């Protein structure tokens, strides 16, 4: 059966505050501008080859040659398809790094005047730091020139988190939701027949799984945003208002923040013993290798799970994080262009390959992410988990973003990440939250 992603659903997801992912690791300080107001500094791929081919660079947060992640493999195919189709005219060279080091290495290139012509980025503060100093180019005219913008679900609404003062600075590639992935066989053997819908139900499920001899939950505190994503769900379920905190009308020491953080400590007794040092990749592998019953992660993990262990797909279920009153963390990875690229036409042509029908069908039918365009895809070919994620979105009342990507600054998000890890490792809740409060006093509220 052909399935077209509903415009209303996707527009709502994109218009709302979005996280993420998934593209974050430790969030670095904002980069200095790459002489964005001047054309004296060339971006990394400015030189044309000796045969007149325009060479551009794209920076990405995974090794495209070694990866098992199906979305990354799709991106590799897109690069190869672009280079083949534009042979003799354009050629893209890929600069890769691991997820945790991505932004630090990107910022180092920006500071050195070697900004990649094209780079992947998450909406929110991680994009702000490239828009504000003029590192990222305005893409509005390119999107409107030939109807490209109209191919996106919701039109301009799809770009709400990439738009500043009416100008669009990045192109979304896909949509993902943060959900609870679970091992259906382990749940059945533990006697869990209905999925948790509230916090007590989540704790009860963990207790049953542990009683059946399973590790209930795998998570990464070694990759801090993974732990803070869980903390973000808990804060939102307690009614924490980030906008009120940013404006100084609420505090990180308020009772609802304390209650949420106490819940994080409460559920941490069900984490795998190595959670403190495990990276995101290791924590995810614990799940698809059936060493733990649940994984709280974005639906981008579908591509990683199915790529590494295809046979696990049949026993991988998905449900919405419980107790959030229908609110879901949503994320879109995006592409930005250097304001100093010497070959903007080549970069735009490259970006369009990520949003053409071939790439967007692959996004759904193989990668298990939700496309951002109006493309029709064959739902029968898509990973089983995508249908579950679509159900989560379909039942969602609203979406919100990763906490560390929704705060006043990237540094504030990093401070929150660090505080959640410290609290998990044993720092008293109020003491850990006081470090975030102090950061806001010194760097947000007094600015």
At residue 225, the pLDDT reads 93
Torsion of CA 428, 431, 432, 437, to 10 degrees: 160
* Residue 276 CB partners (closer than 8 Å, separation 6+): 221, 222, 421, 424, 425
13 pLDDT higher than 90: no
pLDDT at 176: 87
Which of 384, 271, 393, 267 minimizes the C-alpha distance to 329? 393
Q: What is the DSSP string of 80-108?
A: HHHHHHTTTTEEEEEEE--GGGHHHHHHH
Mean pLDDT to the nearest integer, 305-318: 96
Kindly indicate the confidence band of residue 430, based on its pLDDT and cuts at 50, 70 and 90: very high
pLDDT of residue 4: 40
Q: Counting every residue, how long is the chain? A: 447
pLDDT in tens, 262-287: 999 999 999 999 999 999 999 999 99
Best CA proximity match to 59, nearest among 6, 99, 18, 10:
99
Residue 42 pLDDT exceeds 80: no
pLDDT exceeds cutoff 80 at 253: yes
Residue 34 scores a pLDDT above 60: no
Q: What mean pLDDT comes out for the span 390-415?
A: 88
Q: How many helices (H) and strands (E) does the chain have?
A: 17, 16
In which band, very low, low, confident or very high, does the pLDDT at 20 lie, cut at 50, 70 and 90?
Answer: very low
151-205 tens-digit pLDDT: 998 888 889 889 999 999 999 999 889 999 999 999 999 999 999 999 999 999 9
Q: What is the pLDDT of residue 5?
A: 38
DSSP 30: P
> Lowest-confidence range among 64-73, 352-361, 414-423, 426-435?
64-73
Kindly indicate the confidence band of residue 414, based on its pLDDT and cuts at 50, 70 and 90.
very high
Q: How confident is the model at residue 349 (pLDDT cuts 50, 70, 90)?
A: very high
Average pLDDT for 346-354: 99
pLDDT, position 221: 97
Q: Is the pLDDT of residue 248 over 90?
A: yes
Tell me the longest C-alpha to C-alpha distance in the chain.
67
Mean pLDDT across the stretch 336-350?
Answer: 98
Tell whether the model's pLDDT for residue 3 goes beyond 80: no
Q: Is the pLDDT of residue 410 over 50?
A: yes
Which residue from 25, 46, 198 is spatially nearest to 126, judged by alpha carbons? 25
CA dist 27 and 405 (Å) reads: 9
- Topology of domain 18-176+332-389, per CATH? D-Maltodextrin-Binding Protein; domain 2 (3.40.190)
Q: Which of 12-21, 94-103, 143-152 shows the lowest mean pLDDT across its residues?
A: 12-21
Q: Which H or E run contains 284?
A: helix 280-288
- Contact between 134 and 339 (Cβ < 8 Å): yes
What span, in angstroms and rounded, lies between the C-alpha atoms of 436 and 414?
Answer: 10
Tokens of 327: 């609110």
Environment class of 23 (CB within 10 Å of its CB; exposed 0-12, middle 13-18, buried 19+):
buried
Tokens 């895809």 found at: 377
| Closest alpha carbon to 158 in 394, 373, 333 | 373
Q: What is the 3-state secondary structure (H, E, C) of 366-433?
A: CCCCEECECCEEEHHHCCHHHHHHHHHHHCCCEEECCHHHCCCCHHHHHHHHHHHHHHHCCCCHHHHH
Per-residue confidence (pLDDT) for residue 100, from 0 to 100: 82
CA distance 176 to 134: 28
Do residues 317 and 184 lie in contact, with contact meaning Cβ atoms separated by under 8 Å? yes
Tell me the three state secondary structure of residue 324. coil
What would the mean pLDDT of 85-96 be, rounded to a whole number? 97
**How high is the pLDDT of residue 9?**
41
Q: What is the pLDDT of the chain when averaged over all its residues?
A: 89
pLDDT tier, 19 (very low <50, low <70, confident <90, very high otherwise):
very low
More confident residue, 35 or 141: 141
Is residue 38 scored above 50 in pLDDT?
no
Check residue 154 and give its pLDDT. 86
In the predicted model, what is the mean pLDDT of residues 411-415? 93
Percent of the chain residues past pLDDT 70, beyond the cut = 89
Residue ranges per structural domain of the chain: 18-176+332-389
The confidence score (pLDDT) of residue 36 equals 39
35 has a pLDDT exceeding 50: no
Q: CA neighbours within 13 Å on the CB side: how many for 300? A: 23
Average pLDDT estimate for 364-384: 93
pLDDT at 122: 87
pTM recorded for the entire structure: 0.81
Q: CA angle, corner 380, sides to 377 and 382, nearest 5?
A: 65
Adjacent-strand bridge partners of 85 = none
């Amino acid at each position: 059966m052909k399935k077209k992603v509903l415009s209303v659903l996707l527009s709502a997801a994109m218009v709302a505050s979005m996280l993420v992912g998934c593209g974050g690791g430790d969030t670095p300080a904002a980069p200095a501008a790459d002489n964005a107001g001047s054309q004296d500094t060339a971006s990394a791929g400015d030189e044309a080859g000796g045969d007149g081919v325009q060479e551009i660079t794209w920076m990405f947060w995974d090794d495209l040659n070694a990866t098992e992640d199906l979305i990354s493999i799709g991106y590799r195919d897109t690069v190869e398809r672009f280079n083949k189709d534009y042979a003799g005219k354009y050629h893209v060279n890929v600069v890769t790094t691991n997820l945790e080091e991505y932004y630090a290495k990107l910022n180092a290139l920006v500071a050195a005047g070697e900004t990649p012509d094209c780079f992947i980025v998450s909406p929110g503060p991680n994009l702000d730091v490239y828009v504000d100093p003029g590192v990222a180019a305005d893409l509005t005219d390119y999107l409107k020139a030939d109807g490209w913008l109209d191919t996106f679900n919701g039109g301009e609404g799809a770009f709400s988190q990439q738009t500043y003062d009416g100008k669009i600075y990045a192109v979304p590639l896909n949509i993902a939701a943060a959900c609870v992935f679970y091992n259906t066989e382990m749940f059945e053997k533990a006697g869990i027949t209905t999925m948790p819908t509230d916090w007590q139900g989540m704790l009860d499920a963990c207790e049953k799984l542990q009683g059946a001899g399973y590790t209930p939950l795998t998570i990464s505190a070694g990759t801090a945003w993974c732990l803070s994503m869980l903390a973000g769900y808990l804060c939102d379920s307690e009614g924490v208002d980030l906008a009120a905190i940013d404006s100084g009308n609420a505090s990180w020491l308020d009772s609802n923040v304390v209650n949420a953080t106490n819940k994080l400590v409460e559920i941490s007794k069900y984490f795998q013993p190595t959670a403190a040092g495990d990276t995101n990749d290791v924590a995810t592998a614990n799940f698809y290798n059936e060493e733990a019953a649940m994984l709280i992660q974005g639906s981008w993990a579908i591509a990683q799970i199915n790529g590494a262990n295809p046979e696990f797909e049949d026993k991988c279920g998905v449900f919405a994080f419980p107790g959030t009153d229908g609110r879901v963390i949503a994320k879109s990875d995006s592409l930005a262009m250097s304001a100093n690229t010497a070959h903007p036409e080549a970069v735009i042509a490259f970006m369009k390959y990520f949003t053409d029908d071939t790439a967007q069908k692959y996004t759904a039918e193989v990668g298990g992410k939700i496309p951002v365009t109006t493309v029709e895809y064959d739902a029968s070919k898509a990973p089983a988990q995508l249908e579950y994620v679509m159900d989560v979105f379909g039942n969602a009342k609203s979406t919100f973003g990763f906490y560390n990507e929704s705060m006043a600054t990237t540094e504030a998000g990093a401070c929150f990440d660090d505080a959640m890890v410290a609290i998990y490792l044993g720092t008293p809740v109020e003491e850990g939250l006081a470090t975030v409060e102090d950061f806001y006093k010194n760097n947000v509220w007094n600015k």
